Structure 1
Amino acid sequence: MEQRITTLIQESPYNVHLFIKNLTTNQLLISHQLETSFSSASLIKVPILLALLSYIEKNKLSLNSTLTISPTDWVDFSVISEQRLTQSTFYDLLLWMIITSDNTATNVLIDVVGMEYLNDYFQHIGLQDTLLQRKMMDVERLAKGIDNRTSARDMAHLYTQIYQQELLTPPYNKLVIDILSRQRIHDSLKRYLVEDVRLAHKTGGLDTVDHDVGIFYTNAVDYSMGVFITNVTDNDQARQLIGRLSKVVYDQLVKRKGEKDEGYRYSHDC
């Protein structure tokens, strides 16, 4: 598995950051450029999700509380904007922020607590390289080089904590996994998987980056995997690479183990 992954990375024209972790044994299996930070794109929305749920918990707010949305909040690539919504619940905004990567929902939620609160929370949960410096679709700040950042190391740490359900109270920990499992964008890590595997994940993409990171729940083993590609010139080609890397890992950790187990049972049944 490691050799095949190394070859795919070396053959890629892009810059690849990667981690693969066995969550059942808490063992980091493979990593590449773990500590180098890069543009997070929409990956930043997952720690925002956790921060907002922590805020809701601490302030004893209801997920069904309604927030006002100003028309000035509407931005592109948003089902909130498409519907011209002027109010929504915490729950719906959190859900849309993840499952369709809704930018309006994200910006409204950022305004609830502010960037300083969010960055403090990121540090509090052990994220060393994750920083929110602009709202979604703020192309002016992005043009000035002011961007949101993270690293493969931070994403590995974050998804381990999500898997272990140790950041929030039990109902909210389960809610995080449920929301991530309802992701509607499946053109990267699940791209070449035939099986209906459960994946709790989040994608992120800009013109020059493509990312996908999440937790695979399988009968053989639970594992997390993140592939983060920068210097991209062809987004679909980058997503194909993520899909190929993911299939190598899935075939090794899940399919081969399943085949060995079937062979063991067959030989003993005979």
Structure 2
Amino acid sequence: MEQMLPQLLQKSPYKMHMIVKDLSTDEIIISERYDDVFSSASLIKVPILLAVLHHVQTNRVALHQVLTISPKDWVDFSGISEQQLQAASIYELLVWMIITSDNTATNVLIDFMGMNMLNRYFREIGLTHTILQRKMMDFERLANGVDNVTTARDMTHIFTHMYHQDLLMPSYSALAIDILSRQRVHESLRRYLIDDVTIAHKTGGLETVDHDVGIVYSDAKDYLIGVFITEVTNNQDARQLIGRISKVVYEYLIQQKGALK
């Protein structure tokens, strides 16, 4: 890994941000541009997931409480929109928001919580540069330079606390990990892994960014990996690069375990 990973990072035509962290020791194994602020794309849905679960926990709201969905809320590339659903439970919306990155579900939850409340929660849990400033698919605001942003440090903070289950009650912490583990988008971190490993993760992509970050529960050790790529000109290439990096890290950690036997 000491040789292959620097080569992959240096040869990349894009701007690379990265973190690998041993979750059993909290040791940061690799970090690259750890504090740079970048467009979050759909990574913003992870702190939204936590904020909604915190709201449900604190206010004793039923996860199966049904929220109304107006046809004007439907956006393209959404399972909610495809089904023309006009109502769904909070639980259903959370699941769709994460496992297929459903933007209609996300926007309904943003309206349910309120953007100010969400950003206040982000600050309360220690996210210093994660800000929600526009709804999903609001390309007009994006064109005007208004975007949702985060950092590798903030994503590390979120997933570390989820792993240690110290942001929410154990049942809600377990639910958050369960939903992230049911992710259906596997074009990046899992792309080249042949082992049947559990990864609780979230992807994020726009024309110029591709990200994937999460917890890998491996036989060697549980670790956090996040690869965040900006200034992208070819999304397919960027996702392949994330896959290659993920495979190098995974195989290195597996080999390390074997060497210790």
Same fold (TM over 0.5): yes
The match for 1:129 is: 129
TM-score, normalised on structure 2? 0.98
The one-letter code of the counterpart of 1:127 is L
The match for 2:9 is: 9
Separation (CA, whole Å) in 2 of partners of 1:241 and 1:62:
41
Tell me how far 1:73 sits from its aligned partner.
0.3
The structure 1 segments of at least 4 consecutive aligned residues displaced by more than 4 Å after TM superposition are none
The one-letter code of the counterpart of 1:17 is H
- Structure showing greater radius of gyration is 1
Separation (CA, whole Å) in 2 of partners of 1:76 and 1:30:
37
Separation (CA, whole Å) in 1 of partners of 2:155 and 2:111:
24
Q: Does 1:99 align with 2:99?
A: yes
Tell me how far 1:220 sits from its aligned partner.
1.4
The one-letter code of the counterpart of 1:7 is Q
The match for 2:28 is: 28
The match for 1:257 is: 256
Separation (CA, whole Å) in 1 of partners of 2:258 and 2:222:
17
The match for 1:196 is: 196
Q: Secondary structure at the match of 1:30?
A: strand
Separation (CA, whole Å) in 1 of partners of 2:158 and 2:52:
15
TM-score, normalised on structure 1? 0.95
The match for 1:162 is: 162
Separation (CA, whole Å) in 1 of partners of 2:36 and 2:220:
31
Tell me how far 1:260 sits from its aligned partner.
3.4
The one-letter code of the counterpart of 1:79 is G
8 Å CA contact retained: 1:2, 1:30? no
Tell me how far 1:258 sits from its aligned partner.
4.8
The one-letter code of the counterpart of 2:210 is D
Please give the residue correspondences for 1:120-269 in structure 2 after superposition, counting only pairs within 5 Å.
120-254=120-254, 256-260=255-259, 264=261
The match for 1:71 is: 71
Q: Give a deviation string over 1:141-167, Cα, whole Å, max 9, x none.
A: 000010000000111111100100111
Q: Percent of pairs identical after alignment?
A: 61
Tell me how far 1:80 sits from its aligned partner.
0.2
Q: Give a deviation string over 1:187-217, Cα, whole Å, max 9, x none.
A: 1001110101110000000000000000000
Separation (CA, whole Å) in 1 of partners of 2:190 and 2:257:
18
Separation (CA, whole Å) in 2 of partners of 1:139 and 1:244:
31
The match for 2:60 is: 60
Separation (CA, whole Å) in 2 of partners of 1:184 and 1:56:
25
The one-letter code of the counterpart of 1:155 is M
Q: Does 1:42 align with 2:49?
A: no
Tell me how far 1:63 sits from its aligned partner.
0.5
Q: How many residues align?
A: 261
Separation (CA, whole Å) in 1 of partners of 2:79 and 2:51:
22
Unaligned 5+ segments in structure 2 are none
Unaligned 5+ segments in structure 1 are 265-270
Separation (CA, whole Å) in 2 of partners of 1:153 and 1:50:
17
Q: Give a deviation string over 1:49-101, Cα, whole Å, max 9, x none.
A: 00001011111110011000000000011100000000000000000000000
The one-letter code of the counterpart of 1:260 is A
Tell me how far 1:3 sits from its aligned partner.
3.1
